[in-house]
Structure formats: C-alpha cells, structure tokens
Amino acid sequence: MTAQTPVQDAFGQQWDRLSSPASLHCALESSMRLWKQPSSVPPV
C-alpha cells in the first residue's frame, strides 16, 4: 500500500519539519528558557 492519506502526508511533512536539527535546537532553547524562567509561564 503505497498511497498515503492526506492526514499521513501532512503528518509526514510536519515530522520532517520537527525532526530537523534547526527546529530541535529551537525547541530545546525555548524549553530551556521556560525552565529557567518558570515565573513567565502563566498558571494553567
């Protein structure tokens, strides 16, 4: 089964974007910033 549903295709594109080194670094940076500054996070 080679045909992909639009949902699978969209997920694949999003995964490619998320798994790129640049976005991983960006996510790590933002999470570290939030971790260092917990007061900037609004209470849930």
Express each pLDDT in 1-14 by its tens digit.
Answer: 456 677 778 777 77
Three-state DSSP state, 40 = helix
* pLDDT beyond 60 at 41: no
* pLDDT tier at 31, thresholds 50, 70, 90: confident
- Give the pLDDT of residue 14: 75
| CA neighbor of 33 nearest in space, from 22, 23, 41, 43 | 41
